[in-house]
Chain A
Amino acid sequence: QSVLTQPPSASRTPGQRVTISCSGSSSNIGSNTVNWYQQLPGTAPKLLIYSNNQRPSGVPDRFSGSKSGTSASLAISGLQSEDEADYYCAAWDDSLNGWVFGGGTKLTVL
């Protein structure tokens, strides 16, 4: 049972847009920033979005993040087959005094 809640799966066709949600509480998302990671099969997680909506150098602007209250979202537009991966949200939790992750969302691009 993850502290942050994500839908387990999402499915779209190439070119479409998808939004992945991440729900938390006042002790994590409500009071700290959210980071998003992309994990391709058999590889390490890769930072996709940090500080709610910032893209690291090299991440396409098709990826965007937002936060409102105790929830956050990752949006991917113009889906491509190489976007097929697991996506995780993460935030610092002030009550646990540590990092918490969402359970992950498996994105399928048909």
Chain B
Amino acid sequence: QLQLQESGPGLVKPSETLSLTCTVSGGSISSNSDYWGWIRQPPGKGLEWIGSIYYSGSTYYNPSLKSRVTISVDTSKNQFSLKVSSVTAADTAVYHCARTTVDVRRYYYMDVWGKGTTVTVSS
């Protein structure tokens, strides 16, 4: 079945760029009905959507993060990636990747999530 796996450095220095990759297995990232996204969860806090991408490259970003976030897709590797620039301690969180799919009535929902990877911003 479909699985998502996040990877990337667990420690990033303040002011630098956080880079993560999500590898999709058991299915194709080029599916016509699916979007691929990033969600983060700071320690002890709730979920925050970062942004999503379609296999064609069209993107949607959280307005509060848009100026610092870039999401890209590599269909040849079945991967999509996240970059967050100028990080601060407030960007410390568990970062999850997830698939957004659609039901027969054209309603969207995130159904498959990666286990998440912890990123700490510290010098």
Count the A residues whose beta carbon is within 8 Å of the partner chain — how many?
26
Q: Mark B75-116, 1 if CB is under 8 A from A, else 0.
A: 000000000000000000000100000010101111101111
- Tell me if B60 and A51 are in contact (CB < 8 A): no
List the A side residues contacting B39 at CB < 8 Å: 45, 99
What's the Cα separation between A44 and B61 when bound, in Å?
21
Count the B residues whose beta carbon is within 8 Å of the partner chain — how many?
24
Asked if B26 is at the interface of the complex by the 8 Å CB criterion, the answer is no
Asked if B11 is at the interface of the complex by the 8 Å CB criterion, the answer is no
Question: B46 → chain A, closest Cβ, in Å?
Answer: 4
Asked if A17 is at the interface of the complex by the 8 Å CB criterion, the answer is no
What's the Cα separation between A88 and B98 when bound, in Å?
15
Could you say which of B37, B63, B116 contacts A44, with CB atoms under 8 Å apart?
Answer: B116
- Tell me if B46 and A44 are in contact (CB < 8 A): no
B interface residues, Cβ below 8 angstroms from A:
37, 39, 46-49, 51-52, 60-63, 96, 103, 105, 107-111, 113-116
